[in-house]
Amino acid sequence: MFSFLFSSNIFSNGDAFVVEGIVLDAETSEPISNALILLVGTNDYTTTKSDGTFSLHVNRSGAIRIKITHLAYQEKLIDFNSTNEFNKRLVVYLFPKIVNLPSVIVTDNLSASLIDEIKDYSTILKGKELQKQLSQTLAATLKNEAGLSVRSMGPAPSRPVYRGLGQDRILISEDGMKSVDLSATSPDHAVTIEPFTSERIEVLRGPKILTETSSTIGGVVKIVRNEIPYQIHNTYHLTIGGYAETVNKGYLGSIQSEIPFDPVALKFELSKRSSSDLMTPDGLLQNSSSNNLNTAIGLSYIGDFGYSGAAFRLYNLTYGIPGGFIGAHPKGVKIDIGKKQIHLDSKVNVSDANFIQLSYKNIYYRHKEYEFSGRIGSEFRIITNLAKIDYTHSQLFNIEEGVFGVSIEHRDFEIGGFVFTPPTTSFNFSAYLYEEFKLNRMNINFGFRYSYDNVKPKTEHSDSKIGIINKRIFNNISVSASLIYQLSDVLFIGSNLSRSTRVPTIEELYSQGPHLAAYSYEVGNPDLNSESGIGTEIFIYHKYEKLNFNLNVFYNNLNSFIIPRNTGEINYQTFLPIYKTYGVAALLYGLDGSFNWNFYDRLSLSSSFSYTKGIFRENSHPLPQIPPLKGITSIQFNSDNFQVGLSCDWALNQNDVDLFEQATDGYLIFNSFIQFLFNIEKSVNSLTLNVDNIFNKSYRNHLSRVKSILPEAGFNVRVVYKFLL
């Protein structure tokens, strides 16, 4: 399919005329350079420029056929009659194709390996697929990905959970560096990331995550926004976006731009989001509104050596935590978060494919929790300094490619209000490497990470009610290796074996008092050891134009698995349920997968599912907060610039619950979407309309802390629009 746009750039002279147009990626709407534009039946051709535009001289009239080809895209043929049809500008969308050949990729970054190709198929959101999934939070945007669930305590404080693993076992990073907030420590704390302004979102697993975290059984949710420009464009880029939904009267507006002043590039972004209380099929979820302001500016100098730049980001979020369940404040709690960060980044080329990258972040995070009366119940202030140096290489001895480096993190954690966790400083030093080998049809990926952690309370206590509050030092080693064997051009099998470690958080070690917004009385354990265990996984992938699928089976055997458990007791001074932190032996195992089948012309059927079983190793009783068997199935029609589809979110009952944990029923939720890409002059426009929970079905998310009072969102219409120039 193709589109014609009004333009004054088509010239004719008798039977001769000039065809002008632009070629775009159908997935991302980005311009495609070096595409071949051929006049079929002749030797007349041209290629697209870096901005995707082209001009082709045609010296005949009548029926004309143009062929557009590119190594990485599916071929397209366009027919028209020059005498009466072609008086407008041509816009062509090309779909990426799978090339079943060994990868030979020229890039300004680490070359793509086989495992990266598989990851790109199954666990990456970008372009129009990202826009279709965009929701209020990062977790809600990712909820349909295989293996992922959403932990929540109302709409705003939601966070991804992977294969039943939450907290800081799932590291969230922005542009290659850890994102700092308190979302990993408690369900009432929000992730301080605006997904709408991201370029793409990746879910990483396997040995490569050891370059960022020591928890190999978890994963890394990687936000790519390139806030520090790394290349000079030949013209300015502008993106204006908007988002609105009915279920909470929510809206968002954003603007982003990148402006070249060769050899300097400037980039800025601004977004504002607001939502009212959430409407559910059973009523209004009081005190669930939120307001967010996000702004950033980045500047970099780009030359033959690489690039060097800096960025400043300001993020403010105010949101409510609903009340009404056991231990909760009757009218809920308000939380106000402010984050300021300075980001420095430099890449220095050593040779064609080898480079050194130096990165630094300073993050100031402030978090206040207010009772309904306006009194501050809890207050947190964290100052974090992060730094890392990576050396990325191509061929080295028998190694195909890899990276090794070191990182440090210093954290100053201050606490106020009615919270009795002691102010604490922590220091981490890590050294890591990731390497890739290839032996005929076998790809081997290996990762290693050593971590030293020093956690020091500013005031030590030898007679605390929970034990001795003093400095703790942890030394940990994490290792992971993956094997991928290519059975054929389209079929791959593999396995992963890893040793995972995780240092207990400050809250898990030293908490000893009420936590206002979490509605819990938290008791830490200063004698905790590092969490550790062995993870195994077997997977199979099939990659073909008509059928893609993957299936993953995993088994994690963990020692000292650190979890907070509801004891069933009440602290009668605060009337809050008591949650104690334990290190237990645990097993987590299950399977997940997805497939996409183009079964007829432009019709496709897709589905993903996730199942995790978590038990205490000593008695086989269920672990708390394990999601049920769940998934999504959809059917859709695809054309070059139009998509329409119907999907069904489903889950089974979850009756395998810990003591004092609420079971949940299964559900079927139907949704639909329409997405349309169109051009106006030189701009690319994308409009997506989603209708969620079409039948206003009442259902509960098992990982929601407020499921006992009200269900999830009811009938909802979401509209997302983006204008790119």
- Tens of pLDDT, residues 357-388: 999 999 999 999 988 778 888 889 999 999 99
| Beta strands, E only, 572-694 | 576-600, 603-616, 630-638, 642-651, 667-680, 683-692
144/632 Cα distance (integer angstroms) = 7
pLDDT(431) > 90: yes
pLDDT level of residue 15 (50, 70, 90 thresholds): low
Q: Report yes or no: 539 and 552 within 8 Å, Cβ to Cβ.
A: yes
What's the confidence (pLDDT) of residue 514?
Answer: 79
Give the CATH number, domain containing residue 686: 2.40.170.20
711/716 Cα distance (integer angstroms) = 14
Segments in 530-636 forming alpha helices (H): none
Neighbours of 27 (CB within 10 A): 16
What's the DSSP call for residue 704?
A: B
Mean pLDDT of 286-312: 95
Q: What are phi and psi of 127, to 5 degrees?
A: 55, -135
Q: Please indicate, yes or no, whether residues 27 and 162 belong to a single structural domain of this protein.
A: no
Classify strands 442-457 and 376-393 as parallel, antiparallel or unpaired: unpaired
Residue 106 lies in a domain: no
Q: Report yes or no: 47 and 7 within 8 Å, Cβ to Cβ.
A: no
Of the two residues 404 and 2, the one the predictor is more confident about is 404
277/660 Cα distance (integer angstroms) = 28
What's the confidence (pLDDT) of residue 82?
Answer: 60
pLDDT in tens, 227-266: 999 888 778 889 999 999 999 999 999 999 999 998 999 9
pLDDT level of residue 114 (50, 70, 90 thresholds): low
Q: Please indicate, yes or no, whether residues 22 and 148 belong to a single structural domain of this protein.
A: no
pLDDT(326) > 60: no
What's the confidence (pLDDT) of residue 425?
Answer: 96
Residue 103 lies in a domain: no
219/207 Cα distance (integer angstroms) = 10
User: What is the total residue count of the chain?
Assistant: 725
Residue 451 lies in a domain: yes
Domain of residue 32 covers 2-94
Q: Please indicate, yes or no, whether residues 555 and 641 belong to a single structural domain of this protein.
A: yes
pLDDT level of residue 7 (50, 70, 90 thresholds): very low
What percent of the chain clears pLDDT 70, i.e. is strictly above it? 89
pLDDT in tens, 520-556: 888 999 999 999 999 999 999 888 778 888 899 999 9
Question: H/E element holding 140?
Answer: helix 138-142
For CA atoms 207, 212, 213, 219, give the dihedral sign.
negative
Minimum mean pLDDT range among 24-28, 125-129, 144-148, 229-233: 125-129
Residue 102 lies in a domain: no
Segments in 199-338 forming alpha helices (H): none
Q: Please indicate, yes or no, whether residues 171 and 296 belong to a single structural domain of this protein.
A: yes
What's the confidence (pLDDT) of residue 605?
Answer: 95
What's the confidence (pLDDT) of residue 10?
Answer: 41
What's the confidence (pLDDT) of residue 17?
Answer: 73
637/3 Cα distance (integer angstroms) = 18
Q: Report yes or no: 311 and 302 within 8 Å, Cβ to Cβ.
A: no
Q: Please indicate, yes or no, whether residues 162 and 69 belong to a single structural domain of this protein.
A: no
Of the two residues 589 and 87, the one the predictor is more confident about is 589
pLDDT(466) > 60: yes
Q: Report yes or no: 207 and 445 within 8 Å, Cβ to Cβ.
A: yes
pLDDT(43) > 90: no
What's the confidence (pLDDT) of residue 115?
Answer: 54
Q: Please indicate, yes or no, whether residues 87 and 158 belong to a single structural domain of this protein.
A: no
Round the average pLDDT of the chain to a whole number and report it.
86
Query: How far, CA to CA in Å, does 282 sit from each of 140, 285, 660, 692, 698?
Result: 21, 9, 24, 16, 7
- Radius of gyration over alpha carbons of the chain, in Å? 27
* Torsion angle defined by CA atoms of residues 220, 130, 256 and 314, in that order, rounded to the nearest 10 degrees: -40
pLDDT in tens, 436-462: 888 888 889 999 999 999 999 998 888
Q: Please indicate, yes or no, whether residues 191 and 328 belong to a single structural domain of this protein.
A: yes
Q: Report yes or no: 628 and 653 within 8 Å, Cβ to Cβ.
A: yes
pLDDT in tens, 636-689: 998 877 899 999 999 999 999 998 889 999 999 999 999 988 888 777 888 999
Nearest one of 288, 181, 289 to 705, comparing CA atoms? 288
What's the DSSP call for residue 152?
A: B
Q: Please indicate, yes or no, whether residues 90 and 119 belong to a single structural domain of this protein.
A: no
Minimum mean pLDDT range among 389-403, 485-499, 609-623: 389-403
Q: Report yes or no: 48 and 68 within 8 Å, Cβ to Cβ.
A: no
For CA atoms 178, 180, 185, 187, give the dihedral sign.
negative
What's the confidence (pLDDT) of residue 89?
Answer: 64
What's the DSSP call for residue 602?
A: T
Count of structural domains, the chain: 2
Give the CATH number, domain containing residue 87: 2.60.40.1120
Q: What are phi and psi of 170, to 5 degrees?
A: -110, 105
Query: How far, CA to CA in Å, does 136 sit from each of 25, 248, 285?
Result: 27, 10, 16
For CA atoms 46, 545, 2, 235, give the dihedral sign.
negative
Residue 109 lies in a domain: no
Q: Which two tokens stand for residue 418?
A: 């009615």
Q: Report yes or no: 471 and 150 within 8 Å, Cβ to Cβ.
A: no
Of the two residues 517 and 584, the one the predictor is more confident about is 584
Mean pLDDT of 565-579: 82
Burial of 511 (0-12, 13-18, 19+ CB in 10 A): buried
List, in order, residues 6 or more apart from 146 with CB less than 8 Å away.
122, 123, 550, 552, 592, 593, 594, 608, 609, 610, 631
389/251 Cα distance (integer angstroms) = 39
Mean pLDDT of 568-593: 88
What's the DSSP call for residue 225?
A: -
What's the confidence (pLDDT) of residue 329?
Answer: 65
Mean pLDDT of 267-279: 95
Residue 480 lies in a domain: yes
Residue 231 lies in a domain: yes
What's the confidence (pLDDT) of residue 501?
Answer: 95
Q: Please indicate, yes or no, whether residues 50 and 193 belong to a single structural domain of this protein.
A: no
Boundary of a domain, candidates 64, 94, 124? 94
- Residue type for position 639: S
Q: Please indicate, yes or no, whether residues 73 and 161 belong to a single structural domain of this protein.
A: no
Q: How far is CA 242 from its chain centroid? A: 20
What's the confidence (pLDDT) of residue 325?
Answer: 61
pLDDT in tens, 68-92: 888 777 778 777 766 554 445 677 8
Q: Please indicate, yes or no, whether residues 142 and 287 belong to a single structural domain of this protein.
A: yes
Residue 100 lies in a domain: no
What's the confidence (pLDDT) of residue 644?
Answer: 95
Peptide bond into 263 cis (omega under 30): yes
Neighbours of 340 (CB within 10 A): 14
Q: Please indicate, yes or no, whether residues 70 and 181 belong to a single structural domain of this protein.
A: no
In which residue are the tokens 């702004």 written?
Answer: 295
The DSSP annotation for 448-511 comes to EEEEEEEEEESS-EEEETTEEE--EEEEEEEEEEEEEEESSSSEEEEEEEEEEEEPPPHHHHH-
Classify strands 36-39 and 45-47 as parallel, antiparallel or unpaired: antiparallel
pLDDT in tens, 157-207: 999 999 999 888 999 999 989 999 999 888 889 999 998 888 888 888 889
711/698 Cα distance (integer angstroms) = 6
DSSP reduced 3-state for 432: strand
Minimum mean pLDDT range among 122-131, 404-413, 696-705: 122-131
Query: How far, CA to CA in Å, does 487 sit from each of 430, 491, 545, 553?
Result: 37, 5, 17, 19
Classify strands 531-542 and 520-523 as parallel, antiparallel or unpaired: unpaired
For CA atoms 179, 184, 190, 195, give the dihedral sign.
positive
Q: Which two tokens stand for residue 231?
A: 């290349």
